[in-house]
Structure 1
Amino acid sequence: MKNFIFDVDGTLVDTFNMYIPALKEVLDRHGIHRKIPELAKYFSYSGDRTLKEVGIAKEKRTQVFDEWAQTAATRLENVTVFHGVENTLRSIAKKEETSLVVATSRTKSQYLNQFANRFTIHQYFDTYVTADDTQQHKPDPAPIQVSMHRVQAQTNDTIYIGDSLSDLQAAHAAHIKFGSALWGAGDARILAQADYQFQDPREVLELLPKN
């Protein structure tokens, strides 16, 4: 592989303790009481799907989602880079023929303020694609297609690495390989159709060109 596209949340950084306690707090305000273990399964779901499944009416989801995002932003200090991620990215970036791209469902503002400006691993990426860059979002392939276009990648030498079903679906819809990031909250059963299943970030290095 020459082109490595990464999701952010649950893949590069562990944001569980940022998002899930915030979700519980917001749901409590709206009279929906769930314990953290009950909410854990929603970590790899999209925001809209999560709010739908916990019982938020469609007409209220935008408002509740905004509350959730604002509440989560107050817990940024709980976010950490997964062990092994930085060394993996550094090793990939050292190869002249490789490209590193972020494709995230975060907005550009969220990406810059909550990730790029906080974590040094941002320096290893050649470019990034956020929710502001496409009209369609994962599981649609648009974010991955834009990522590939920016680094002139081909489908046969590109992989997307993420932790959710929508990540897998987006990768396959873009006709590229998908690697599941099982070092976080990724569920191997949900991601059973992944082309590669990585238990540790350093296993990704096995896909680097041999020279």
Structure 2
Amino acid sequence: MTYRALMFDIDGTLTNSQPAYARVMRIVLAEYGKSFTDADAQTTFPMAAEQAMAHLGIAADQFDHFQARYEAVMADHFSDITLYDGMTTVFEQLPADLKVGIVTSQRRNEIEAGMRDYPIMDRMNVVIGADDTDKIKPDPLPLLTALEKVGVHPSEALFVGDSLSDEQTAAAAGVDFGLAVWGMDPNADHQQTTYRLATPLAILDVL
């Protein structure tokens, strides 16, 4: 299969951000008198902010305050987040005519703050975050919006992600899915995967 577009999730796919996420969530949730276990981190990591907060029992009228505190604390931990090994090499070797982008449940300000120092961002043709569409993953709208913006049909695209939500998004959009095994939850039951990618460099083998 020759793909004309390659779309990525961020957390657990491009960046190894779960340790920083867990650290920050423990700090912020402690302010609410709540604990945050390793199991909570595994469950909520792939979720959009509002979904994670609801799952953790944060009242809806506290969402804005919680998100603001999370972003403020995370600002001190961006240095703890790194690209996965091999990802820079992947981007250096992508075909020049391939449309590349990001489809994430992060908000725009999180994307800009967390990813701005990575040269791979210069290669992105499109970036769709949680506040760019009316619906978020696993609804297909964010992925379909990204592909529409780069003028590529879903049948000619590959979406690489680490979560069941990413897999469901790709399936609903009619897009092939590459499972980022390096960042996936080992307990997740993936059933709609086109490729199981053991390392970032495996992406180059399917293009």
TM-score, normalized by the shorter chain, greater than 0.5:
yes
The runs of 4+ residues in structure 1 deviating greater than 4 Å are: none
Matched, 1:79 2:81: yes
Alpha-carbon separation, structure 2, partners of 1:192 and 1:44: 17
SS of the equivalent of 2:70 reads: helix
SS of the equivalent of 1:133 reads: coil
Matched, 1:206 2:205: yes
Aligned to 1:98: 98
Amino acid at match of 1:121: I
Change (3 A) 1:194 1:150: same
Aligned to 1:40: 41
Give the deviation of 1:78 after TM superposition: 0.4
Alpha-carbon separation, structure 1, partners of 2:144 and 2:24: 32
Alpha-carbon separation, structure 1, partners of 2:114 and 2:193: 28
Give the deviation of 1:174 after TM superposition: 1.0
Alpha-carbon separation, structure 2, partners of 1:169 and 1:146: 16
**1:19 is matched with which residue: 21, 45, 51?**
21
RMSD: 1.9
* Map 1:9-158 → 2, pairs under 5 A: 9-35=11-37, 37-41=38-42, 42-92=44-94, 95-115=95-115, 117-158=116-157
Alignment check: 8 A CA contact 1:45 1:164 kept: no
SS of the equivalent of 1:179 reads: strand
Alpha-carbon separation, structure 2, partners of 1:65 and 1:125: 26
Aligned to 2:165: 166
Alignment check: 8 A CA contact 2:5 2:152 kept: yes
Amino acid at match of 2:131: D
Amino acid at match of 2:66: V
**Deviations, residues 66-92 of structure 1 (Å, cap 9, x unaligned):** 322222222111010100111112211
Number of matched pairs: 204
Aligned to 1:181: 180
Give the deviation of 1:185 after TM superposition: 4.0
**Deviations, residues 38-83 of structure 1 (Å, cap 9, x unaligned):** 3331322332332233332333334323322222222111010100
Change (3 A) 1:67 1:6: same
Alignment check: 8 A CA contact 1:24 1:39 kept: no
Alpha-carbon separation, structure 2, partners of 1:5 and 1:141: 13
Aligned to 1:5: 7
**Deviations, residues 122-151 of structure 1 (Å, cap 9, x unaligned):** 122222222332121111111111111121
Alpha-carbon separation, structure 2, partners of 1:133 and 1:140: 13
Give the deviation of 1:189 after TM superposition: 2.6
Alpha-carbon separation, structure 1, partners of 2:96 and 2:141: 26
Alignment check: 8 A CA contact 2:171 2:192 kept: no
Change (3 A) 1:62 1:165: farther
Gaps of 5+ in 2: none
Identity, % of aligned pairs?
A: 25
Amino acid at match of 2:139: D
Alpha-carbon separation, structure 2, partners of 1:133 and 1:58: 21
Alignment check: 8 A CA contact 1:10 1:186 kept: no
Amino acid at match of 2:175: I
Alpha-carbon separation, structure 1, partners of 2:124 and 2:187: 27
